[in-house]
Structure 1
Amino acid sequence: MNVHDPAAELRANVATPFEAAQAMPVSVYTSKDFLDLEQQHVFGASWLCAGRAESLKESGDYMTMEIAGEPIMVLRDRAGDLRAMSNVCRHRMSTLLEGRGHVRSIVCPYHAWTYNLDGALRGAPAMDLNQSFCKEATGLPQVRCVNWKGWIMVTLDPDLPEPAETLKEMDDLVGYLPMENYVETFREEHRWDTNWKILAENFMESYHLPVCHGGTIGGAVDLRRMTCPQGFSGFNFHHILKDDSIALSIAHRDNTALQGEDRYRTWLLAIYPSLMITLTPGYFWYLSLMPDGPGGVKILYGGGLSPDFIADADAEQHFTALKGLLDDVNDEDRGCTERVWKGMQSRHAVPGALSHLERPNYEFATWIASRLPG
């Protein structure tokens, strides 16, 4: 009997030079066993984005997430610092917080064990007769969390180099657009019926724009003028020049620091494994992806404005129009990526040759292969 080994198939796939490369094997999308490998060696050992730091403004503001099945809370503690911790009670292992919100302390919904915002156990009702109980030794385990350029990045790996090191090349590319000063104005959560890698690859390449986005932005794309430079070890990228048809896509009229084409340049940054950022002089939007089974992806979708436009009296009007466009583009992407997932269920599904405009997809596949054992 022929037994597929998706990891071996992927390694063989990326051993071919890019100029003769094929898309990733179907098995790396559809196999539950391969997803289990990804959860352990990709998501469980990478920096993942929980959202924007400015979305947790006050002490006690929190959000929750899961990394490879591990429940995590991220909050602003009483000192004003970002902190990530286990979202599991140290008593009977109930999850503690859900969604997003604000708390003065963390109270277990099962037996009311109560934790301070730094994770220390404050109170445990009716535990005084148990001689093995030690309140001081029963705090919530801490999880690594950093603010990288305004992004809340979390990892389960205690030894992973920080994003500032693994993504250092990004400063040379987009440092003139200080992401840490942009302000998030919306944040939504969605789930699509497709594999997380299909959506990541869709963001990484603009080859699909003329057709998939024929109803919105596709008409402004000239594939013959598009290039996809070689990426770096922690991310890939490409960029396009916009005209002034979308006011927020170009530098603000009062911005004198940006000159020439930098006033019109839009960057598409794919930070491995699953943070996708579109960055312009006027606005940004992003997707942060988490797998939900082989055929599902949970999506954190957000965006906002640069400091120039935050201060502009007309910015809200401009952004309302832009948000409508972004939503329409996302709806088109959903249709395209869900059709790819459906097509992968066919007995005739075979990966085809990659275009020169799909270099980021090849680099993404190479990165995933490098993370897997063997």
Structure 2
Amino acid sequence: MPRDEPALRQPKLAGFNVDPAHSYTLSAPYYREPEVLARERDAIFFKSWIFIGHGEKVAHVGDYFTHSIFDQNILVIRAKDQRIRAFYNVCAHRAHELLQGEGNAKVITCPYHAWSYHADGSLRSARGSEKVAGFDKDEFCLKEVQIESFLGFLFVNLDPAAPPLAVQSGDLAKEVRGYVPDVEKLTFSRRLTFDLKANWKNVVDNYLECYHCPPAHPAFSDLIDIKKYRSITHGIYSSHIGPMTGGDNKAYKFDAARQDSSLHFSGWYLWPNITLNTFPGCPNLSVLQIIPTGPETCREYWDFYFSSQEPNDEERAAVEYVDRVLQPEDIGLVESVQRGLRSKGYHQGRYIVDAERSDISEHALHHFHSLVLNALGD
């Protein structure tokens, strides 16, 4: 009998259980194989709500920016009716890309043959088309992509049948506003960029448990009362909340006299590849986006939003802590794990999960893996 090559390339997943307390982890091939990433592209990133930036990037009529999801380039623009729209960034004539980067355009004009479009996607003009028999301008509108504003941030979904993010995400918006009441009033301030030699899921895995925090993050473990750190899973997101320990700590300085939710680290993982975070101190929210760039590489964008574009001393200290301490610690961890995932001595691990779902429990990691496997049909 001929060998079934595609089937042979499928990663083996023995021992995964819907109950995290009795389950083994994802097997190593899920973090290494090009075939897995190709399946994830189609089944996850082309069918989920993907973060693309803040709504303030298109604050005025004609403001636009472009964003790529793997090989799919998306154009986002605010039209005259004030509605923010998203389209595939491709001319309906001969497939030339329409716009690059960001800017303002009252009319979208293709640089190849000068076909032009209104910001609502309708074809405005096509040179010479008046001489073409039966040419129908309505046939050549830009193809629209679902877009949604959520907590002031913009998300797109390439699946036209996908339910709204506001529905899929349940109480996430309410939870975030509980810790950052004026989240929609925050503005972009800083971006940190990191290129990692690690599969994107490996990086998400690391975020989803604090089992590693005491041995690997001494300053964070001094900032937060780790024993009170709790993770709770819901639908397509999970929350990760820890109150601060007290005044002085090894991470960074901030006003510890407040008596409100600003004295917590509050984090939320949102499927498939972002986290929302607020650190102790002045009102803030940061978005960590984890973008696959290959089977064993990814890029992180960590965007910080504060009350003003220029951070104060307290906010600057928080950014520097993430940039100089927390991220180097985590990058070292996940890159070591990625090397280990290629070892002949490792195939699959076991989740540490206790009945109390305590600070060491890895049930949120199991929740994420369940979402991956469900999306892939595995």
TM-score higher than 0.5: yes
Deviation at 1:340, TM superposition (A): 1.9
The 1:335/1:63 distance shift into structure 2, 3 A limit, reads farther
Residue number in structure 2 paired with 1:297: 298
Matched residues, number: 357
Q: Residue 192 of structure 2 contacts residue 323 of structure 2 at CA under 8 Å; is this kept in 1?
A: no
Identity of aligned residues (%): 25
Deviation at 1:62, TM superposition (A): 2.2
What stretches of structure 2 of length at least 5 have no aligned partner?
354-360
- Quick check: 1:209 aligned with 2:213? yes
Q: Residue 59 of structure 1 contacts residue 76 of structure 1 at CA under 8 Å; is this kept in 2?
A: yes
Q: Residue 80 of structure 2 contacts residue 119 of structure 2 at CA under 8 Å; is this kept in 1?
A: yes
Q: Residue 275 of structure 2 contacts residue 289 of structure 2 at CA under 8 Å; is this kept in 1?
A: yes
Say which of 130, 138, 147 aligns to 1:145. Answer: 147
Write the distance in 2 (CA, Å) between the matches of 1:299 and 1:110.
33
Residue number in structure 1 paired with 2:351: 354
Residue number in structure 2 paired with 1:326: 322
The 1:142/1:248 distance shift into structure 2, 3 A limit, reads farther
Q: Residue 51 of structure 1 contacts residue 300 of structure 1 at CA under 8 Å; is this kept in 2?
A: no
SS where residue 8 of structure 2 aligns?
Answer: coil
Say which of 76, 95, 98 aligns to 1:74. Answer: 76
Residue number in structure 2 paired with 1:173: 175
SS where residue 159 of structure 2 aligns?
Answer: coil
The 1:247/1:128 distance shift into structure 2, 3 A limit, reads farther
SS where residue 14 of structure 1 aligns?
Answer: coil
Write the distance in 2 (CA, Å) between the matches of 1:298 and 1:34.
18
Residue number in structure 2 paired with 1:256: none
SS where residue 362 of structure 1 aligns?
Answer: helix
Deviation at 1:285, TM superposition (A): 1.0
Q: Which amino acid is 2:209 matched to? A: E
Residue number in structure 1 paired with 2:67: 65
Residue number in structure 1 paired with 2:357: none
Deviation at 1:189, TM superposition (A): 5.1
Write the distance in 1 (CA, Å) between the matches of 2:142 and 2:164.
23
Deviation at 1:221, TM superposition (A): 5.2
Write the distance in 1 (CA, Å) between the matches of 2:89 and 2:229.
44
- Quick check: 1:363 aligned with 2:367? yes
SS where residue 42 of structure 1 aligns?
Answer: helix
Q: Residue 225 of structure 2 contacts residue 243 of structure 2 at CA under 8 Å; is this kept in 1?
A: no
Q: Which amino acid is 1:272 matched to? A: W
The 1:13/1:140 distance shift into structure 2, 3 A limit, reads farther
Q: Residue 232 of structure 2 contacts residue 364 of structure 2 at CA under 8 Å; is this kept in 1?
A: yes
Residue number in structure 2 paired with 1:3: 8
TM-score (norm 1): 0.85
Q: Residue 170 of structure 2 contacts residue 235 of structure 2 at CA under 8 Å; is this kept in 1?
A: no
* CA displacement, residues 277-336 of structure 1 (integer Å, 9 cap, x when unaligned): 11246211111233222122233321112xxx549xx95333222222221222332232
Q: Residue 213 of structure 1 contacts residue 332 of structure 1 at CA under 8 Å; is this kept in 2?
A: yes
TM-score (norm 2): 0.84
The 1:342/1:103 distance shift into structure 2, 3 A limit, reads farther
* CA displacement, residues 8-50 of structure 1 (integer Å, 9 cap, x when unaligned): 61xx443163223333211111122222221122111111111
Deviation at 1:4, TM superposition (A): 4.8
Deviation at 1:235, TM superposition (A): 0.6
Q: Residue 187 of structure 1 contacts residue 302 of structure 1 at CA under 8 Å; is this kept in 2?
A: yes
Q: Which amino acid is 1:23 matched to? A: T
Say which of 237, 240, 263 aligns to 1:238. Answer: 240
Residue number in structure 1 paired with 2:25: 23
* CA displacement, residues 245-283 of structure 1 (integer Å, 9 cap, x when unaligned): 5566869x5xxxxx55x3412211001111211124621
Deviation at 1:346, TM superposition (A): 2.1
Deviation at 1:152, TM superposition (A): 0.5
* CA displacement, residues 316-364 of structure 1 (integer Å, 9 cap, x when unaligned): 3332222222212223322322222222222223332223332211110
Between stretches 119-128 and 152-161, larger displacement belongs to: 119-128
SS where residue 231 of structure 1 aligns?
Answer: strand
- Quick check: 1:267 aligned with 2:266? yes
What stretches of structure 1 of length at least 5 have no aligned partner?
254-258
Deviation at 1:172, TM superposition (A): 5.0
The 1:337/1:99 distance shift into structure 2, 3 A limit, reads farther
SS where residue 240 of structure 2 aligns?
Answer: strand
Deviation at 1:120, TM superposition (A): 2.0
Write the distance in 2 (CA, Å) between the matches of 1:270 and 1:124.
45
The 1:171/1:103 distance shift into structure 2, 3 A limit, reads closer
Say which of 326, 336, 339 aligns to 2:336. Answer: 339
SS where residue 36 of structure 1 aligns?
Answer: helix
Residue number in structure 1 paired with 2:197: 193
